Amino acid sequence: MPKISMKVNGKTMSGEAEGRTLLAQFLREELDLTGTHIGCDTSQCGACVVHVDGVAVKSCTMFAAEAEGAEVTTIEGMANEDGSLSVIQQAFQDHHGLQCGFCTPGMVMSAAALLKDNPKPSEAEIRDYLEGNLCRCTGYHNIVKAIMAASGQDVGAIAAE
């Protein structure tokens, strides 16, 4: 099997993978980074979102070999250097933006990509951006609040659903 190397969460990592191995599988099974979840296997749920060279991608739609030499950030790489939660992760905790937690890694990674491109998104922009991420527990209300809070905006203006 071919060897694949990439920089994951700031560390050079490598492993073996068949050509058909998806990035999500490679991260979980070969590199033992199990924070990236596989929810649907059809690119519908967004639980597997990671950043590849700074771009949010659904890792179930990309072959591991396509990430050869890339910089990949997973949910494990989102914490601060001292191990404390990032602003986005802390906002999800503070505003109850998670319940079962299955969608949370993908939601956090998508939120980080949104805030990178749009540091002060409106409620409508957040909801539109998260269209590719499914949550079966929260109804998105608290996820939206968490992202608004992470952007430094007032969450009191968000209407209850």
**pLDDT tens profile 21-48:** 999 999 999 999 999 999 887 889 999 9
Q: 84-95: buried (b, 16+ CB within 10 Å) or exposed (e) per residue?
A: eebebbbbbeeb
In percent, the amount of the chain with pLDDT more than 70 equals 98
**Topology of the domain comprising 87-150:** DNA polymerase; domain 1 (1.10.150)
Phi first, then psi, for residue 112 (nearest 5°) are -60, -40
> ∠123-137-38 over CA atoms, to 5°?
100
**pLDDT tens profile 56-92:** 999 999 999 999 999 999 999 999 999 999 999 999 9
Phi-psi region of 39 (alpha: psi -120 to 50; beta: other; left: phi over 0): alpha
Q: Does this chain's domain 3-77 share its CATH topology with 87-150?
A: no
**Topology of the domain comprising 3-77:** Ubiquitin-like (UB roll) (3.10.20)
Residue ranges of domains in the chain:
3-77, 87-150
